[in-house]
A and B are shown apart, each in its own frame.
Chain A
Amino acid sequence: MKKLFQTAAASIIALTAATSHAEDIKPAVVFDMGGKFDKSFNEGVYNGVEKFSKETGIKYREFEVTNPSQREQAIRKMAQRGADPIVGVGFAQGPAIEKVAKEYPDIRFTIIDSVVDLPNVQSIEFKEHEGSFLVGVLATMASKSKKVGFIGGMDIPLIRKFACGFAQGAKYANSSAEVFSNMTGTTPSAWNDPSKGSELAKSQFDKGADVIFAAAGGTGIGVYQAAKDEGKYAIGVDSNQNHLQPGTMLTSMTKGVDVAAYNAFKSAMDGTWKPGKHALGLAENGVDWALDDNNKSLITDAMKAKVKEAREGIIAGSISVHDYKTDNSCPAL
């Protein structure tokens, strides 16, 4: 009992010490169109900032943008209210952050998925092509037909970057592998269209694919269901989705959006927030493939070895993964 008391007291002291060192921050986040429950990117950020809020008890301001004119408006409003740091979600907010960050040079801004070159802006990008490469390797190795599929959400360069990395990985594991690629749509509703995801998955299965990687937000749910119904494999995206359809989910390509958002707030609180460009790839654990109890029976030792080899090769630089963004084209697709 006494010991318990001591530990409690110690932890209370530690806690107060921590808070007294920490800066008093008023964090804010501006979600983009699609909203914070888009089962994808925005939701990742939401999970990250919620975690921060629960841990520290610090409340944050938030706003969900519903039309393009509101981006700049909302960010400026946050700045006017003295919010600091302000996290902008998604590449579309780049120009807005740039404008407002110039007007408020003393406020710290973090933009996720875009680069704004200003002394008070932290730009966080992910090397999605590297993570997609790894799940591409796993997909081909798990595939019996050596035909694998990719289903994207909205047809934008970011998603083509996923597709391109995936195709390269699939062909790295077996140069004769065939990759099918489909996009769900051309509007933001493509992020949340499970029935269309299911249709696209079925058509790819009909063409002979037996592993499908979905980078499509909520649309992916339909893809995973279709894979389960037909006894094929699917690969999740953004967060670890292996638990969604255990036995069907081969793995997930994790993109640490939640961690990035959490860190932006946390580092601002600790005073370790740094501006500049941060590209988070395999080496920085920004992207990865997920292995847990739900899928460990599906991943053989040979697959583990191959993906380890690819991973180390990418980090060391001996394998270079083409980034769609650099020239807006993909030789592997």
Chain B
Amino acid sequence: MSSPSKALPAWIDVGVIPLINILLAFFVSGIVILIIGEDPIEAVKIVVYGAFGNDYNIGYTLHYTTNFIFTGLAVAVAFHASLFNIGGEGQAYIGGLGVGLLCLALDQYVPFWIILPLAIAASGLFGAAWAYVPAYLQAYRGSHIVITTIMFNFIAFSLMNYILVNVLIEPGQMSPESRDFLTSAQMPTMQEAVGWFGIEIEKSPLNLSILLALFSCTFVWLFIWHTRWGYAIRMFGFNENAANYSGINTQRLVVGTMCLSGVLAGFVGINEIMGNHNRVMLDFVAGAGFTGIAVALMGRNHPVGIIIASLLFGTLYQGGAELSFEIPTIQGEMVKAIQGLVILFCGALAYMSRPTIERIFTAIVESNGTAKEQTNG
């Protein structure tokens, strides 16, 4: 959040440095690809084409992006109160369960426009409930939130598994999945949505949930920087004692922040369950909750940064899948390694390149300055 040393102009801090870090990550990835005997330039082409080459591929990229925006925002909101929410995975999973239960209960009786707000509420409520317990334990019992949210991920996996295997499964089938929702509980896909305006695109998992994601970004921006609660959260994040001293109820703040974080993570359920799979199933979050941590770190906990970072990770997910499809020697693990390198360079080593860039920048500024002086003199 705060810059460690000499002030650089904002455009270098949030623009140039992340870009250089990503390029460094790709450079190292390129070397790795070269070592296993493939052509890195070709690989980059495949990744870019795989992510943006046609409307079908873009659909997948943006579908993943939507998930990452939700989980990235969830982590970021908690970060602002210096709470480390590692439970996005579980909160998203349970959020999806909430959406699923609601859709299964209502899809035979009421139309889509009633189900939609209720489903959004259910996903948020279930996600928040899953964040509430760790938050309560942190605020009132002092159990560290990192530990409890990790634990709650495992409890979420077990709960979901139990419900699917024993309750929601259709008799006579092997796959632990619920029945498919009726059309009244299916989020319109982007194909349908742009079809209303007479535009034709390929069907992909991309659906209208992306609008909810963008709305959430706006909301988080307003909430964190333009409301009293947001101010309290940031103040608590900077200095817990000061917040306490100025009369903020820090315990309620911790619980409230975590619940908001859980709501945002729970929205993944809208995108995956209502928008994509249209049934409750196992593993639909597929690591988006953990990727959200990297997204928030890279996006500097700011909604705009989170959108950009989500797009980057969406590209890596979709383009990476295409890469392992086109070049079989580059397997799934290899793609994960590339993603790991991006996280490493943009997260852990974010400040590695900073001193060099600072020196270059000051040199440029100074030489410009002297040049100006000379012309003036």
Contacts and interface: CB of A to CB of B under 8 A. Distances in A.
Interface of A: 33, 35, 61-64, 66-70, 73-74, 77, 91-92, 94-95, 113-114, 154-158, 160, 185-188, 325-328
Contact of A64 (B161, B175, B282, B324): B324
18 contacts: A35-B332, A66-B286, A66-B321, A67-B283, A67-B286, A67-B317, A68-B286, A69-B272, A70-B321, A74-B321, A77-B325, A94-B175, A156-B174, A156-B176, A157-B169, A158-B174, A186-B158, A327-B172
Contacts of A325: 172-174
A67 B277 CA distance: 12
Contact of B321 (A73, A185, A326, A328): A73
A61 B327 CA distance: 10
Contacts, number: 84
Contacts of B172: 325-328
Contacts of B63: 69
A157 B286 contact: no
B284 interface: yes
B205 A69 contact: yes
Given A33-B283, A186-B162, A61 B169 contact: no
Contact of B171 (A33, A61, A327): A327
A68 B277 contact: yes
B214 interface: no
B171 A186 contact: no
Given A68-B284, A77-B325, A157-B165, 20 more contacts: A35-B332, A66-B286, A66-B332, A67-B283, A67-B317, A68-B277, A69-B272, A69-B276, A155-B161, A156-B176, A157-B175, A158-B174, A186-B157, A186-B160, A186-B161, A187-B157, A187-B161, A328-B166, A328-B169, A328-B172
B322 to A, nearest CB: 8
Nearest to B164: A156
Contacts of A326: 171-172
B60 interface: yes
Contact of B325 (A33, A74, A327): A74
Interface string B130-163: 0000000000000000000000000001101110
B111 interface: no
A113 B174 CA distance: 8
A22 to B, nearest CB: 23
B95 to A, nearest CB: 16
A61 B277 contact: no
Contacts of A69: 60, 63, 205, 272, 276-277, 286
Given A91-B174, A325-B172, A328-B171, A155 B165 contact: yes
B355 interface: no
A232 B165 CA distance: 32
Contacts of B205: 69
B340 interface: no
Nearest to B170: A328
A245 to B, nearest CB: 29
A64 B332 contact: yes
A77 B318 CA distance: 13
Nearest to A324: B174
Interface in B265-298: 272, 276-277, 281-284, 286-287
Contacts of A185: 157
A63 B171 contact: no
A91 B281 CA distance: 12
A91 B317 CA distance: 24
Given A77-B325, A157-B165, A67 B287 contact: yes
A157 B174 CA distance: 6
B175 A62 contact: no
Contacts of A77: 325
B331 interface: yes
B328 interface: yes
A157 B160 CA distance: 14
Contacts of A73: 60, 321
Nearest to B328: A62
A326 B171 CA distance: 7
Contacts of A66: 286, 321, 332
A117 B341 CA distance: 44
A62 B166 CA distance: 33
A94 B171 CA distance: 16
B170 to A, nearest CB: 9
Contacts of A64: 324, 331-332
Contacts of B325: 63, 74, 77
B319 to A, nearest CB: 13
With a 10 A CB-CB cut-off, give which of A35, A63, A158 has the most chain B CB atoms.
Answer: A63
- What 9 pairs between A and B have smallest CB-CB spacing? A67-B286, A186-B161, A91-B174, A91-B175, A186-B158, A64-B332, A187-B157, A186-B157, A66-B332
Contacts of A160: 165
Q: Which of A95, A113, A188, A327 has the most CB of B within 10 A?
A: A95
A35 B332 CA distance: 9
A158 B282 CA distance: 14
Contacts of B277: 68-69
A29 to B, nearest CB: 11
Contacts of A63: 324-325
Contacts of A187: 157, 161, 283
A62 B330 CA distance: 12
A95 B173 CA distance: 12
B200 to A, nearest CB: 17
Contacts of A61: 328
B185 to A, nearest CB: 17
A188 B161 CA distance: 11
Contacts of B174: 91, 113-114, 156-158, 325
Contacts of B272: 69
Contacts of B324: 63-64
A186 B161 CA distance: 6
